[in-house]
Amino acid sequence: MEEKKVYKSRFFSYMKKIIPFSVFILLTGILIITSNFSGRSPQVDSITPKVGAPGSELIIKGKYFGRERKGGKVSISGVCPATGSYKEWTDNTIRLVIPEDINSGLLKVITRNGESSKIVLFANKKEIPVPLLGPLKPGEAYISSIKPNKGPVGTLITINGMNFQSERNDSKVYFAWISGDINQNHKENIYTTSIPAAFSDYDYEFWSEYQVKVRVPDGASSGNIYIATDKGISNAVFFEVQEPAGQKRISNKKIYQVYYWVKVKVLEAQHENSLHLWIPGIMETPYQQEVTRISSEPGEPEENVNGILRFTFNNLLQDESEQVKLRFIFKRYEVSTRINPHNIRDYYNSGAALYKVYTRANSLMPVSDIKMITLAREITGKERNPYLNAQHIYNYVLNTLTPVDSTDISETDLLNIIGLQKPQADAYIYSLLFCTLTRSAGIPARPVAGYLVCSDLLSHEHYWAEFYIENFGWVPVDPYLGDGKKYSNLKIPGNFRSYYFGNLDNNRITFTRGIINLQGISNEGRTVRKRRCASFQSIFEESSGELTSYSTYWSSVGIIGFY
């Protein structure tokens, strides 16, 4: 009995010691969990109003702002309001007075745990143009109204006014374009803060003197719309780009300066001959901006067809050598997407030109072949969501092919490749197989050609792809890098498989998106088409007359530098 009392006494004494320690451990664990939870980057869900006047109140809703401000700040177009502007700061609400010196632009919340990543745009009401009663200068384009005044990418807008010119020719409709770089200057000219509606996406549907019908282009942001003709730039009208399907962020700018050339050696020729070279230029895209041709030797091109430059040499002599050398400077951005598949329509406007062009078969993509159609159906099953189906096809391509250099592949025919077990493929085949299967599944897609640029300034010919989602735009995909192919001195993310479905780095140069169909100059001309030449185009060279034999050398892109 005595022993039981002693044992009981010792037990209670032990518990008195261990309980406080256990409580301490428990509280420490809770503190660590709480610390980790509160250490998350801020998340902005909405702002009210989206268009506000200086002196009025702006309310920001979201998460993880912190219970107190403690050095936190809001940035609008790279400018942070003064401390006195903040009226409330809680973990999910920020209330502030809009200062006088704020421009329209990207809004971010920044705390010690990071900055918000969602693209949220604020428009200063003072910067929204007031409709004019007519053009500022005689003959200059004037916009009197647009309808609708808001909508997602792909929305057909009717622009009414005057002096638009009876035919489009080189005239363009410009939409606001805002990168995710916080220091973008939104008071520059429209050519550095806007993007034109894209001819390659069939955005233009109608053009007359008094009316233009155009679709909101891929990459457009809320902001001012202009019409630019050879008579000048029109007044501005505000348009709000909505994002029901998700967001596309363009950030992390790099500036490249590059050069490349084509050399010609005449082997056998007599007078009365000509040689035409179609050389791809650096393509202007939402991710590749402010492209400038610094120099063009021996002179300016004869014409520019969708970014393909044509140079002509006449009456070449035997043993003569000629060379075309081009130099460009441009800005390249990284692109990332956040898509909510539940908000994506499971059908397309099949009557639209974009849909018809980018779902059809061609010489490189046997889209309508029964083997491809059957395989696409097997991969997608009963799924109707185009985004998820594209993801299924992406995974199939990665699981089926083995990435190797182009010099190591033995089979290049897509119909034969899909019947092999783990066939070897280069970037060219990866991109074409993805696009072929995606088109066979009824999803618009196109291959993209250009170069990868490594940190040692070496460039590699490369191919990737993109597919189109209604109310969102083009989604970038790089199946080759997504399958783990590595280049020396090219940094790729650790999660490369998931990253390269929907995102794209800024270590690349785009020459062509889709296949550029070119027309020969002469009915008697002898045309040359090159494969794996970093450009999807129907003609590269055309000789005619008494140019019997010649050779050409097409260089890789040389990188002068980037920063």
Rounded distance, CA 145 to CA 481, Å?
Answer: 46
Looking up tokens 């034109």 gives 196
Q: Assess whether 117 and 133 both reside in one domain.
A: no
Structure tokens of 125? 């009401």
* Residue 35: per-residue pLDDT: 42
Q: Assess whether 266 and 410 both reside in one domain.
A: no
Cβ contacts of residue 306 below 8 Å, gap of 6+? 199, 200, 516
Instruction: Classify residue 83 by its DSSP letter.
Output: G
CATH number at residue 387: 3.10.620.30
* Residue 389: per-residue pLDDT: 98
Residue 36 maps to a domain = no
Instruction: Classify residue 235 by its DSSP letter.
Output: -
Rounded distance, CA 466 to CA 553, Å?
Answer: 30
Q: Assess whether 353 and 498 both reside in one domain.
A: yes
Length reported for the chain = 563
Residue 9 maps to a domain = no
Residue 65, amino acid? F
Strand-by-strand arrangement of the 86-89 sheet: 43-48, 57-63, 93-97, 86-89
Of 30, 560, 35, 512, the closest CA to residue 306 belongs to 512
Per the CB < 8 A criterion, the answer to whether 74 and 109 are in contact is yes
Q: Assess whether 498 and 552 both reside in one domain.
A: no
* Residue 359: per-residue pLDDT: 98
Domain span at residue 408 reads 344-512
Residue 401 maps to a domain = yes
* Residue 207: per-residue pLDDT: 97
Cα distances from 356 to residues 55, 196, 363, in angstroms, run 50, 22, 16
Q: Assess whether 133 and 120 both reside in one domain.
A: no
Domain boundary among 215, 242, 269: 242
Q: Assess whether 225 and 367 both reside in one domain.
A: no
Rounded distance, CA 182 to CA 113, Å?
Answer: 17
Structure tokens of 127? 């910067």
Q: Assess whether 537 and 426 both reside in one domain.
A: no
Residue 13 maps to a domain = no
Cα distances from 149 to residues 101, 144, 156, 161, 494, in angstroms, run 26, 12, 10, 15, 42
Residue 32 maps to a domain = no
Q: Assess whether 92 and 166 both reside in one domain.
A: no
Query: Could you give the number of structural domains in the chain?
Result: 4
Q: Assess whether 349 and 463 both reside in one domain.
A: yes
In degrees rounded to 5, what are phi and psi of residue 180? -80, 0
CATH number at residue 49: 2.60.40.10
Q: The whole model's pTM is what?
A: 0.84
* Residue 141: per-residue pLDDT: 94
Q: Assess whether 356 and 461 both reside in one domain.
A: yes
Residue 194 maps to a domain = yes
Domain boundary among 187, 207, 242: 242
* Residue 51: per-residue pLDDT: 84
* Residue 25: per-residue pLDDT: 58
3-state helix, strand, coil in the chain (%, to 5): 20, 40, 40
Rg (CA), the chain: 29
Residue 28 maps to a domain = no
Q: Is the dihedral of CA 437, 440, 442, 446 positive or negative?
A: positive
Domain boundary among 93, 124, 155: 124
Q: Assess whether 476 and 427 both reside in one domain.
A: yes
Instruction: Classify residue 500 by its DSSP letter.
Output: T
Residue 225, amino acid? I
Q: Is the dihedral of CA 186, 187, 193, 196 positive or negative?
A: positive
Q: Is 182 exposed, middle or buried (0-12, 13-18, 19+ CB in 10 A)?
A: middle
Low-confidence ranges of the chain (pLDDT < 70): 1-38, 129-136, 180-189
Q: Assess whether 349 and 426 both reside in one domain.
A: yes
Residue 16 maps to a domain = no
